[in-house]
Amino acid sequence: MLVFIFIFLVGFGLAVSGGVTIIAYMNFLPVGVSWGDYLIFIAGRPECYLFPIGIILIAFVLFQYPNNL
């Protein structure tokens, strides 16, 4: 059970750091970068991959956690 909590917290931390990075890069939009160029840019940044990895870890824990109902 403690392993599930640890994986959940790691996933949460990764999702938060990746999400904050993606939002921070949205500051390029007012400068004149289009949405397509923005999506291509964040697809090439390794720190932006932390968000989906974190979401996958959270989903894994939520589906694997023992349900005693």
Q: What is the pLDDT of residues 17-55, one digit of tens each?
A: 999 999 999 999 999 999 999 999 999 999 999 999 999
Per the model's pLDDT, the better-predicted residue between 19 and 1 turns out to be 19
Amino acid sitting at position 11: G
Packing angle of the helix pair 35-43, 2-25 (nearest 10 deg): 140
Q: What is the pTM of this model?
A: 0.85
Residue 52 near residue 23 (C-beta atoms within 8 A) = no
Residue 5, CB-side half-sphere exposure with 13 Å CA sphere: 2
Q: What is the pLDDT of residue 59?
A: 95
Nearest to 7 by CA among 51, 52, 48, 62: 62
